[in-house]
């Protein structure tokens, strides 16, 4: 099993790319988390190997076993040391990716089964269905709301995910390093058309922000159409 | 009279084993044929039946998993339509959790514990049977709903508002809420029963600190079930009230909060993982030392680890909610707590490996599954620590990574140890040896199939595939990963099918097994194969407990232990003290009866009426339930010859305890503990809705003096009822008639019920107006229900006094009622204070 696992590693690394892959990050926040993942994976692999080797070695002749060394030494102190290290890494990365300091604020409003986004424009807020416009190269705070059930806003290449909960407003920081189009989706199961609740994030060159080519409010689709559930 | 040192009690003289067997068998055996099965209350029969039924549900759940994998094998499969797909993955999770894992561990614990503890049955045999029937009927409702196409489809954690009436208008969600709650009666029954049995039924002299580790694990499990299931049951009741009557507990527009559901659900849902893991770890702690021909390393450390897990697991439910937008400090706290729970797990893992180092492990079939456990569970535990890291969680949450992780934990940490346990105890359960070869093939197919399915699924999740989607046309990069998961999923299924065939062949065609085939030290093997319903012809003392199964077997069968045979034609067991297992009294267990099935049918009628929307009629269905429970209690107090019983030469024990608690009282204390958790969860709901929820504030009640007066009247009447009960008990203990005191109590309780009803119907604001009003009404309903039960308790005691059944040695019903009455009084007082506080903050 394990041999097969190692043999497929290069294949896997090549296959990690994708428009929704957390392993091909396109911004500093997603990049931090990706590094954290690789570090966690390396640590976990070492620990798993340690346990498997210990289990394999037990199939030898019987040995004297100092009980305290196994239960307290390995069980308590060793695992506490590893966990403390992990927690420190978690808090360090956590502090880096949390919304601290000023950022551009945009809104993401979810409903069954579509997203309405708005960002500040030159003449007031611009609204768009299914597309979120942000400037590249600077942190953006997404304010996430929902009008019916719980959804979750997720753009894997730009940062973590955050739930859209009716009656509440959540804040998630994302950032794209370079201009481009990134894919996003609803991560929390929200009913029949959950799988089709996708959206796009278009990161613009900071020089072109706010983008002139975008329609100014009123939004792309008339409100009556927006409220109707998509087929 | 009872010596403190159990080892000093002289042994009974040996008798003819066959004679003892015949005597016991007549008293303890099941009736003949199907009716005998229906009326059986034996822990051996019911334990096997729980496990067998759980295995059938496992098959159904597995079939659903194969449908999911077939759908996901290609990106745009039209195999299942989305509504059906949603029902299937919801039912897969719900079945595996509620109809497979929990009943499976209950069954194993029920079957094994009395045998390991050296007694003849569990403390409340009829309750075991009631639990089984509730499980079977509730499970059948869920399966029938699936066949009828009205199964729940909101995911197995049923998040509101999606599971609310607006977004799930059919009865699908009601099926889940009512069906699962019905099944959970069996979980609570089992928890109470196992807890009391472990604490009070251990063989004389088996100290708590010396009992088999498996019993420690089940003690921890039972405690967690008593504290863990009430929040789920409360959540389900509240959501059903919202769906049925429009009480807006979770509706943000009327002051409710969807997050309240998530808190209540995961308050159950996280401990649930450890509820499932602990018994499996108990199997490992039992099997590993014997198969390594040594003793366990670090008994004390393992016990400490179990207790650590029990406490820690209630402090980390929020790690399922890292993406709902909670304060950063709370994120850090729950992240740390989630990691900390890895410490007791590590202690156990290293204790097991140390045990294998100390001994000489034998690669028998159960050991293969133990190795499968190590290989799988360690990886699942490590991905669990990863998920406790909040930044990583924000990426992996709700993706296939989590699906992979939870299957590594549940199959690695529960299914592999359970398969080890089944293959280990199969000679005991069937009395037969297995056929060589088949089991090994099944093991390798399951192991390879499992890792083939789920190892790469971690990657699928990291590449962005969310849970619970039926198609992924835009993401060809997920296709190969999914196809390979589906392929290996079918390999795993073939493995499980082979495992089942192996079991059937062993049970049907295997050669007869020798007794104690593993040369085990524990009492579960110190009996004939398959075991008779009474387990032991006599109950082992300290010496026989330590002798090893092979040496204890013959002496026990010849009646050299305590309480040999059944010379009085009654089902007798020994009740011992909690800590040192000093024998206290002899308890008489009930004979076979169909009453549990009838009670289960009565409850089922209530559930079906609620499901059908006949809300006005449904409460009427509770009247037969109450009547049947009355009959249940009447049978328990049926007059008996209460002469003391000689359990060993010169050692007479009373049949009713002169002092010290009866089994029923211990059971009631356990029930009240669970009930208290339920009440605490309700108060948590009140506080959460009042203080944390962002919605509109509770509209003022404008409660005036009448309300205050009514509340004081209810409390005063309940206090009067309590005092009346105490007075009655004092009179009965003094040998005087207690009729007047009891009449007074019944009247006071009834008056309290009327006063509360007047308050509820007269001045309570409409509960559909706002979540604050709804939770207030729920508190009042809770208190009302408890007063109604207190009325029944006091009426029961009055009825007994009228029949002249109460005497100083037989006043248990008064003490039980006293417990309930004081609990009710305390709950009413706390509810009053909580509602007053709610008024102040409004």
pLDDT in tens, A11-55: 556 668 899 999 999 999 999 999 999 999 999 999 999 999 999
Of the ranges B406-410, B414-418, B535-539, B734-738, which one carries the lowest mean pLDDT score?
A: B734-738
> Does residue B662 lie within any of the structural domains?
no
User: What pLDDT, on a 0 to 100 scale, did the predictor assign at position B596?
Assistant: 97
User: What pLDDT, on a 0 to 100 scale, did the predictor assign at position B657?
Assistant: 75
Q: CA angle at residue B61 from B56 to B65, to 5 degrees? A: 145
With b meaning 16 or more CB within 10 Å and e meaning fewer, what string describes B595-618?
bbbbbbebbbbbbbbbbeeeeeeb
C-alpha A107/C-alpha A129 separation (Å) is 12
For B797, the domain range is 697-841
Of the ranges A118-127, B760-769, B795-804, which one carries the lowest mean pLDDT score?
A: A118-127
Residue B489: both structure tokens together: 């999923």
Give the count of alpha carbons within 13 A of B313, CB side only: 26
What is the least distance, in Å, from the CA of A64 to any CA of chain B? 6
> Does residue A220 lie within any of the structural domains?
no
> Exposed, middle or buried by CB within 10 Å (0-12, 13-18, 19+), for B816?
buried
Residue B472 contacts A where some CB pair is shorter than 8 Å: yes
* Contact (CB<8Å) A148/B167: yes
What is the least distance, in Å, from the CA of A174 to any CA of chain B? 12
C-alpha B828/C-alpha B362 separation (Å) is 59
State CA B294 to chain mean position distance.
32
Q: Do B460 and B478 form a contact (C-beta atoms < 8 A)?
A: yes
Residue B44: both structure tokens together: 């051996």
C-alpha B222/C-alpha B193 separation (Å) is 9
Residue B75 contacts A where some CB pair is shorter than 8 Å: no
pLDDT (average), residues B553-577:
94
Residue B66: both structure tokens together: 């194969």
Asked whether residue A207 falls in the same domain as residue A125, the answer is yes
pLDDT (average), residues B529-537:
95
> Does residue A77 lie within any of the structural domains?
yes
Residue B399 contacts A where some CB pair is shorter than 8 Å: yes
* Contact (CB<8Å) A191/B252: no
Asked whether residue A82 falls in the same domain as residue A29, the answer is yes
> How many inter-chain contacts (A to B, CB under 8 Å) are there?
261
B window 517-536, beta carbon within 8 A of A: none
C-alpha B570/C-alpha B367 separation (Å) is 41
pLDDT band at A218 (very low <50, low <70, confident <90, very high): very low
| CB < 8 Å to B155, chain A | 189
What single-letter DSSP state applies at residue B778? H
Q: What is the overall mean pLDDT for chain A?
A: 86
Asked whether residue A78 falls in the same domain as residue A124, the answer is no
End-to-end CA distance of chain A: 45
pLDDT band at B641 (very low <50, low <70, confident <90, very high): low
Residue in B783, B725, B726 with CA at minimum distance from that of residue B755:
B783
> Does residue A124 lie within any of the structural domains?
yes
> Does residue A156 lie within any of the structural domains?
yes
Q: Do A127 and A219 form a contact (C-beta atoms < 8 A)?
A: yes
Q: Which residue has the tokens 């992990």?
A: A86
Residue A3 contacts B where some CB pair is shorter than 8 Å: no
Asked whether residue A126 falls in the same domain as residue A207, the answer is yes
> Does residue A72 lie within any of the structural domains?
yes
End-to-end CA distance of chain B: 62
Interaxial angle between packed helices B125-147 and B172-200, expressed in degrees from 0 to 180 and rounded to the nearest 10: 160
For chain A, the domain total comes to 2
Asked whether residue A119 falls in the same domain as residue A136, the answer is yes
Question: Does pLDDT of A231 surpass 80?
Answer: no
Interaxial angle between packed helices B258-291 and B342-358, expressed in degrees from 0 to 180 and rounded to the nearest 10: 10
Residue B531: both structure tokens together: 């075991």
Residue of B nearest to A55 (CA): B353
Asked whether residue A76 falls in the same domain as residue A163, the answer is no
Partners of residue A128 on adjacent β-strands = A117
Q: What is the overall mean pLDDT for chain B?
A: 94
Asked whether residue A198 falls in the same domain as residue A124, the answer is yes
Instruction: List phi, psi (to 5°) of B78.
Output: -105, 20
C-alpha B127/C-alpha B666 separation (Å) is 14
Longest dimension (CA), chain B: 85
Give the count of alpha carbons within 13 A of B86, CB side only: 21
* For testing contact with chain B, the best of A67, A112, A152 (most B CBs within 10 A): A67
State CA B505 to chain mean position distance.
31
Q: Do B153 and B83 form a contact (C-beta atoms < 8 A)?
A: yes
| CB < 8 Å to B447, chain A | 1
| CB < 8 Å to B477, chain A | 15, 17-18, 21
> Does residue B525 lie within any of the structural domains?
no
pLDDT band at B708 (very low <50, low <70, confident <90, very high): confident
Residue B257: both structure tokens together: 């909060």
> Does residue B755 lie within any of the structural domains?
yes
Radius of gyration over every alpha carbon of chain B, rounded to an integer in angstroms: 27
Please count the other Cβ atoms lying within 10 Å of the Cβ belonging to residue A19: 18
> Does residue B745 lie within any of the structural domains?
yes
Q: From residue B136, give the alpha-carbon distance in Å to each of A3, B96, B504, B596.
A: 44, 14, 22, 12
pTM: 0.94
Q: Do A41 and A80 form a contact (C-beta atoms < 8 A)?
A: no
Return the percent helix, strand and coil in chain B, to nearest 5. 70, 5, 25
> Does residue B702 lie within any of the structural domains?
yes
Q: Do B167 and A151 form a contact (C-beta atoms < 8 A)?
A: no
Helix residue ranges per DSSP H, B42-171: 43-72, 82-94, 102-117, 125-147
* Contact (CB<8Å) B82/A193: yes
C-alpha B609/C-alpha B178 separation (Å) is 11
> Does residue B704 lie within any of the structural domains?
yes
State CA B657 to chain mean position distance.
28
> Does residue B196 lie within any of the structural domains?
no
Helices (H) and strands (E) in chain A, counts: 6, 10
pLDDT (average), residues B451-460:
96
A window 67-126, beta carbon within 8 A of B: 67-68, 70-72, 74-76, 78-80, 83, 86-87, 89-91, 93-94, 97-98, 112
* Contact (CB<8Å) B392/A37: yes
CATH number at residue A150: 2.60.40.420
Residue A22 contacts B where some CB pair is shorter than 8 Å: yes
Q: Which residue has the tokens 């046309």?
A: B473
For chain B, the domain total comes to 1
- Using DSSP's 3-state secondary structure scheme, residue B827 falls into helix
* Contact (CB<8Å) B391/A148: no
Instruction: List phi, psi (to 5°) of A133.
Output: -100, 130
> Exposed, middle or buried by CB within 10 Å (0-12, 13-18, 19+), for A55?
buried
C-alpha B211/C-alpha A152 separation (Å) is 49
For A51, the domain range is 20-97
Residue B690 contacts A where some CB pair is shorter than 8 Å: no
* Contact (CB<8Å) B451/A86: no
With b meaning 16 or more CB within 10 Å and e meaning fewer, what string describes A96-122?
ebbbeeebeebbbbbbbbbbbbbbebe
Q: Do B725 and B814 form a contact (C-beta atoms < 8 A)?
A: yes
Q: Do A102 and A88 form a contact (C-beta atoms < 8 A)?
A: no
Partners of residue B651 on adjacent β-strands = B648
What is the least distance, in Å, from the CA of B306 to any CA of chain A? 13
> Does residue A132 lie within any of the structural domains?
yes
Question: Does pLDDT of B746 surpass 80?
Answer: yes
CATH number at residue B828: 1.20.120.80
Contacts of B307 (CB under 8 A, 6+ apart): B220
Q: CA angle at residue B551 from B548 to B556, to 5 degrees? A: 100
* Contact (CB<8Å) B331/A94: yes
Question: Does pLDDT of B337 surpass 70?
Answer: yes
Contacts 24+ apart (CB under 8 A), B744-749: B744/B720, B745/B720, B745/B721, B745/B794, B745/B797, B745/B798, B746/B721, B746/B791, B746/B794, B746/B795, B746/B798, B748/B717, B748/B718, B748/B720, B748/B721, B748/B724, B749/B717, B749/B718, B749/B721, B749/B787, B749/B790, B749/B791, B749/B794, B749/B821
Instruction: List phi, psi (to 5°) of A178.
Output: -120, 155
Q: Do B258 and A167 form a contact (C-beta atoms < 8 A)?
A: yes
Radius of gyration over every alpha carbon of chain A, rounded to an integer in angstroms: 23
B window 345-374, beta carbon within 8 A of A: 346-351, 353-361, 363, 371, 374
Residue in B667, B795, B619 with CA at minimum distance from that of residue B199:
B667
> Does residue A85 lie within any of the structural domains?
yes
> Does residue A226 lie within any of the structural domains?
no
pLDDT band at B637 (very low <50, low <70, confident <90, very high): low
Condensed to tens digits (0 to 9), the pLDDT of residues B156-179 reads 999 999 999 999 999 999 999 999
Q: Could you tell me what percent of chain B has a pLDDT over 90?
A: 86
C-alpha A81/C-alpha A62 separation (Å) is 29
C-alpha B720/C-alpha B713 separation (Å) is 10
A window 130-189, beta carbon within 8 A of B: 148-150, 152, 154, 156, 159-163, 165-168, 170-171, 185-189
Which tops the pLDDT comparison, B811 or A74?
A74
Q: CA angle at residue B412 from B409 to B415, to 5 degrees? A: 110
Residue B5: both structure tokens together: 């040192």
pLDDT band at A221 (very low <50, low <70, confident <90, very high): very low
User: What pLDDT, on a 0 to 100 scale, did the predictor assign at position B839?
Assistant: 84
> Does residue B546 lie within any of the structural domains?
no
Residue B389 contacts A where some CB pair is shorter than 8 Å: yes
Q: Which helix (H) or strand (E) holds A125?
A: strand A124-129
What is the least distance, in Å, from the CA of A216 to any CA of chain B? 30
- Using DSSP's 3-state secondary structure scheme, residue B795 falls into helix
Q: Do B286 and B212 form a contact (C-beta atoms < 8 A)?
A: yes
C-alpha A208/C-alpha A202 separation (Å) is 12
Residue of A nearest to B389 (CA): A90
């Amino acid at each position: 099993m394990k041999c097969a696992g190692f043999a497929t590693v290069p294949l896997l690394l090549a296959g990690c790319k994708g428009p929704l892959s957390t392993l091909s990050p396109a911004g500093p926040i997603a990049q931090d988390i990706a590094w954290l993942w690789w570090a966690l994976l390396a640590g976990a692999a070492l620990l798993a190997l340690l346990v498997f080797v210990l289990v394999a070695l037990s199939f030898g002749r019987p040995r004297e076993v100092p009980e305290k060394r196994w239960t307290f030494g390995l069980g308590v102190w060793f695992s506490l040391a590893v966990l403390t290290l992990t927690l420190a890494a978690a808090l360090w990365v956590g502090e880096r990716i949390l919304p601290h300091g000023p950022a551009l604020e945009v809104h993401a409003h979810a409903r069954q089964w579509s997203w309405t986004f708005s960002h500040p424009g030159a003449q007031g807020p611009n609204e768009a269905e299914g597309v979120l416009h942000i400037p590249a190269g600077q942190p953006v705070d997404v304010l996430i709301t929902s009008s019916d059930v719980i959804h979750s806003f997720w753009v894997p290449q730009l940062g973590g995910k955050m739930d859209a909960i009716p009656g509440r407003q959540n804040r998630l920081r994302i950032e794209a390093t370079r201009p481009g189009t990134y894919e996003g989706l609803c991560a929390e199961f929200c009913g029949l058309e959950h799988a089709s609740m996708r959206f796009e994030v278009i990161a613009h060159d900071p020089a072109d922000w706010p983008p002139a080519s975008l329609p100014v409010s009123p939004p792309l689709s008339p409100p009556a159409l927006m409220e109707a559930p998509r087929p | 009279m009872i010596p403190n040192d159990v080892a000093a009690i002289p042994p009974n003289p040996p008798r003819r084993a066959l004679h003892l067997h015949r005597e016991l068998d007549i008293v303890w055996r099941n009736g003949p044929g199907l009716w005998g099965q229906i009326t059986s209350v034996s822990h051996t029969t019911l334990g096997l039946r729980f496990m067998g039924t759980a295995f059938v549900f496992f098959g159904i759940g597995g079939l659903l998993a194969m449908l999911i994998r077939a759908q996901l094998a290609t990106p745009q499969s039209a195999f299942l339509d989305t509504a059906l797909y949603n029902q299937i993955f919801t039912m897969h999770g719900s079945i595996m959790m509620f109809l497979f894992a929990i009943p499976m561990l209950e069954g194993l614990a029920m079957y094994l514990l009395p045998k390991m503890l050296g007694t003849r049955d569990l403390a409340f045999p009829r309750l075991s049977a009631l639990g089984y029937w509730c499980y079977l009927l509730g499970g059948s409702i869920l399966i029938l709903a699936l066949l009828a196409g009205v199964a729940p489809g909101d995911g197995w954690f049923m998040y509101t508002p999606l599971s609310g009436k607006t977004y799930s208008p059919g009865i699908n969600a009601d099926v889940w809420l009512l069906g699962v709650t019905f099944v959970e009666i069996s979980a609570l029954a089992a928890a109470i029963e196992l807890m009391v049995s472990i604490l009070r039924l251990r063989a004389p002299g088996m100290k708590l600190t010396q009992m088999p580790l498996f019993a420690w694990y089940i003690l921890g499990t039972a405690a967690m079930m008593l504290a863990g299931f009430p929040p789920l049951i409360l959540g389900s009741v509240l959501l059903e009230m919202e769906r049925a009557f429009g009480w807006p507990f979770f509706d943000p527009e009327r002051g409710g909060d969807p997050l309240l559901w998530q808190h209540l659900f995961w308050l159950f849902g996280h401990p649930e993982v450890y509820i499932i893991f602990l018994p499996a770890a108990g199997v490992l702690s039992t099997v590993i030392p014997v198969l390594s021909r040594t003793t366990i390393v670090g008994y004390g450390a393992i016990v400490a680890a179990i207790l650590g897990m029990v406490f820690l697991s209630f402090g980390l439910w929020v790690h399922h909610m890292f993406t709902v937008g909670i304060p950063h400090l709370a994120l850090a706290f729950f992240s740390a707590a989630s990691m900390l729970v890895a410490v007791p797990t590590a202690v156990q893992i290293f204790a097991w490996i140390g045990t294998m180092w100390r001994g000489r492990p034998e690669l028998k079939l159960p050991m293969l599954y133990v190795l499968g456990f190590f290989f799988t569970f360690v990886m699942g535990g490590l991905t669990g620590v990863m998920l406790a890291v909040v930044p990583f969680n924000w990426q992996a949450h709700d993706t296939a990574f989590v699906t992979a992780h939870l299957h590594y934990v549940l199959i690695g940490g529960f299914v592999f140890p359970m398969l080890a346990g089944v293959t280990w105890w199969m000679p005991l359960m069937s009395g037969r040896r297995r056929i060589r070869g088949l089991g090994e093939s099944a093991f390798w197919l399951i192991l390879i199939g499992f890792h083939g399915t789920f190892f790469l699924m971690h990657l699928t999740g990291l590449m962005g595939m969310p849970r619970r989607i039926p198609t992924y046309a835009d993401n060809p990069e997920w296709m190969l990963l999914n196809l390979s998961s589906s392929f290996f999923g079918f390999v795993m299924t073939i493995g499980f099918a082979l495992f089942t065939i192996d079991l059937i062949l062993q049970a049907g065609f295997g050669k007869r097994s020798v007794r104690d085939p593993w040369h085990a030290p524990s009492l579960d093997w110190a009996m004939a194969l398959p075991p008779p319903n009474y387990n032991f012809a006599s109950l082992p003392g300290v010496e026989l407990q330590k002798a090893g199964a092979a040496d204890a077997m013959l002496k026990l069968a010849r009646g050299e232990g305590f309480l040999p045979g059944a010379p009085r034609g009654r089902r007798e067991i020994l009740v011992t003290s909690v800590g040192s297992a000093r024998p206290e009294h002899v308890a008489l267990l009930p004979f076979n009866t169909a009453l549990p099935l009838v009670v289960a049918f009565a409850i089922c009628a209530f559930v079906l009426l609620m499901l059908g929307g006949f809300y006005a009629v449904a409460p009427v269905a509770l009247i037969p339930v109450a009547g049947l429970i009355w009959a249940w209690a009447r049978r328990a107090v049926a007059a008996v010859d209460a002469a003391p019983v000689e359990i060993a030469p010169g050692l007479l024990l009373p049949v009713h305890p002169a002092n010290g608690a009866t089994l029923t009282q211990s059971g009631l204390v356990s029930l009240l503990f669970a009930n208290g958790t339920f009440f605490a969860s309700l108060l948590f709901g009140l506080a959460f809705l009042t203080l944390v929820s962002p919605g509109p504030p509770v509209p003022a009640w404008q409660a005036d003096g009448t309300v205050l007066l009514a509340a004081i009247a209810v409390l005063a009447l309940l206090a009067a009822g309590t005092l009346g009960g105490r007075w009655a008990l004092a009179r009965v203990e003094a040998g005087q008639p207690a009729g007047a005191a009891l009449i007074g109590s019944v009247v006071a309780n009834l008056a309290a019920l009327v006063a509360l009803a007047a308050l509820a119907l007269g001045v309570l604001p409409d509960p559909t107006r706002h979540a604050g009003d709804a939770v207030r009404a729920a508190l009042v309903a809770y208190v009302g229900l408890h007063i109604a039960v207190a009325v029944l308790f006091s009426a029961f005691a009055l009825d007994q006094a009228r029949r002249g059944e109460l005497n100083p040695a037989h006043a248990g019903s008064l003490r039980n009622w006293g417990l309930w009455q004081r609990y009710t009084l305390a709950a009413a007082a706390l509810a009053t204070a909580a509602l007053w506080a709610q008024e102040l903050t409004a």
